[in-house]
Amino acid sequence: MSRKHTLLMTACLVSMMAVTAGAKAAEKVSIMVGGLEKQIYLPFKLTEQLGFFKAEGLDVELLNEPSGVDAENEMLTGAVQGVGGFYDHCVDLQSKGKFVESVVQINQAPGEVELVSTKHPEIKSMADVKGKSLGVTGLGASTNFLTMYLAVKAGVPLGQFTTLPVGAGQTFIAAMQQDRIQAGMTTEPTISRLLKTGEAKVLVDMRSAASTKAALGGTYPATALYMPTAYVQSHRDTVQKLANALVHTLRWIDTHSAAEIADKMPKDYLVGDREAYVKALADGKAMFTKDGVMPQGGPETVLAVLGGFSKNLKGKTIDLSKTYTTEFVKNVK
């Protein structure tokens, strides 16, 4: 065989190898999560830690954004393909003519608590927040939605209290310590940190399905993987792979202890107190769905809550069937 033929065959082989490698290259998907270190969003990071995204042939980039509303905006601009955030954004966005849908429903309860600073014993219920500053992760975030609803429901109209965006974690804690907020809505592990130091106490608890029904009148599906409807329709295979990975994680959570789950998480997520992290997770683990399916009656509760204060929904007809799908999670083997 001539040198020319040898070089030609080598070139063809290299080309074939490149094509094969390209065919096997993992699909790249970017998901922005409204606070990766929060326990309500734990399944996203855990899926990565367990290798379930890779097992589906996906290269998932998890981006961290403290406020769900900012994550939502990144998705709407096309910077990311999906959001790990609260389902209520799917309802709110439809009122603005934008169609997005939950493809995996991760939480059946918000996992949120309205904490009140122990410096303010006069605040005994949400009826006492008139004239107060209430902390939320961001304006337009789900914490803001829920805070406004709870206050209005308790008889304090919009405009008679202030919601202040203070993020979560250390920024939330600092805002309460500095009395910039007298109460605020946050999640674990921030809840446990403030309760442990005695700087706050629970005003409204939405960490379980039962306590959520008491506060909001029904099941309130919260954390979800939601994506633009147009993307879901044009990338069905990719969405199915994401659903496979996340549902496998939800099943894993259901069959493992809080301590075993904590062992899989990055150490900095435990914020230096593994015992408190594990206890909070053990107490709140029931907030996660076991199968990614939207809880029955959940969308109706969300619509009722948002309709209780939101001007966006006034006079609008919302098609709840277009705010979520169970197709992909029900296909998971």
pLDDT by 10s per residue, the chain, length 333: 554 444 444 444 444 444 344 445 788 999 999 899 999 999 999 999 999 999 999 999 999 987 667 788 889 999 999 999 999 999 999 999 999 999 999 999 999 999 999 999 999 999 999 999 999 998 888 999 999 999 999 999 999 999 999 999 999 999 999 999 999 999 999 999 999 999 999 999 999 999 999 999 999 999 999 999 999 999 999 999 999 999 999 999 999 999 999 999 999 999 999 999 999 999 999 999 999 999 999 999 999 999 999 888 888 999 999 999 999 999 999
Calpha distance 284→41 (Å, rounded)? 12
Of the residues 206, 229, 262, which one is the last residue of a structural domain? Answer: 206
pLDDT computed for residue 72 by the predictor? 86
Name every residue whose Cβ is closer than 8 Å to that of residue 323 and which is 6 or more positions away in sequence: 87, 90, 91, 94, 100, 101, 102, 299
- Domain containing 151: what range? 112-206
- Per the domain annotation, does 40 fall within a domain? yes
Name every residue whose Cβ is closer than 8 Å to that of residue 94 and which is 6 or more positions away in sequence: 100, 318, 319, 322, 323
pLDDT computed for residue 17 by the predictor? 42
Task: Give which of 116, 111, 72 is closest to 94, Cα–Cα.
Answer: 72
pLDDT computed for residue 65 by the predictor? 85
Name every residue whose Cβ is closer than 8 Å to that of residue 114 and which is 6 or more positions away in sequence: 126, 134, 147, 150, 183, 184, 185, 202, 203, 204
Calpha distance 248→332 (Å, rounded)? 8
Q: Could you tell me if 126 and 253 lie in one domain?
A: no
pLDDT computed for residue 23 by the predictor? 47
* SS3 state of residue 116: strand
- Per the domain annotation, does 249 fall within a domain? yes
Q: Could you tell me if 95 and 116 lie in one domain?
A: no
Q: Could you tell me if 101 and 250 lie in one domain?
A: yes
Q: Could you tell me if 250 and 153 lie in one domain?
A: no
- Per the domain annotation, does 20 fall within a domain? no
* SS3 state of residue 126: helix
* SS3 state of residue 6: helix
- Per the domain annotation, does 104 fall within a domain? yes
* Partners of 288 in beta bridges: 107
Our measurement of the distance from residue 7's CA atom to the centroid of its chain's CA atoms, rounded to an integer in Å, reads 54
pLDDT computed for residue 207 by the predictor? 94
Q: Could you tell me if 90 and 119 lie in one domain?
A: no
Report how many domains make up the chain. Answer: 2
Q: Could you tell me if 229 and 323 lie in one domain?
A: yes
Q: Could you tell me if 98 and 225 lie in one domain?
A: yes
Tell me the per-residue pLDDT of 281-308, one tens digit each, with 9 for 90 and over.
999 999 999 999 999 999 999 999 999 9
- Per the domain annotation, does 16 fall within a domain? no
- Per the domain annotation, does 216 fall within a domain? no
Here the CATH number for the domain that contains residue 117 is 3.40.190.10
Q: Could you tell me if 131 and 201 lie in one domain?
A: yes
223-228 and 82-86 strand pairing: antiparallel
Q: Could you tell me if 98 and 122 lie in one domain?
A: no
Q: Could you tell me if 103 and 119 lie in one domain?
A: no
Q: Could you tell me if 99 and 116 lie in one domain?
A: no
**231-237, Cβ contacts within 8 angstroms, sequence gap of 24 or more:** 231/81, 231/82, 232/101, 232/103, 232/325, 235/81
Q: Could you tell me if 263 and 322 lie in one domain?
A: yes
Calpha distance 211→126 (Å, rounded)? 15
Of the residues 151, 183, 206, which one is the last residue of a structural domain? Answer: 206
Contact criterion met (CB below 8 Å) for 247 and 329:
yes
Calpha distance 99→95 (Å, rounded)? 9
- Per the domain annotation, does 270 fall within a domain? yes
- Per the domain annotation, does 5 fall within a domain? no
pLDDT computed for residue 113 by the predictor? 97
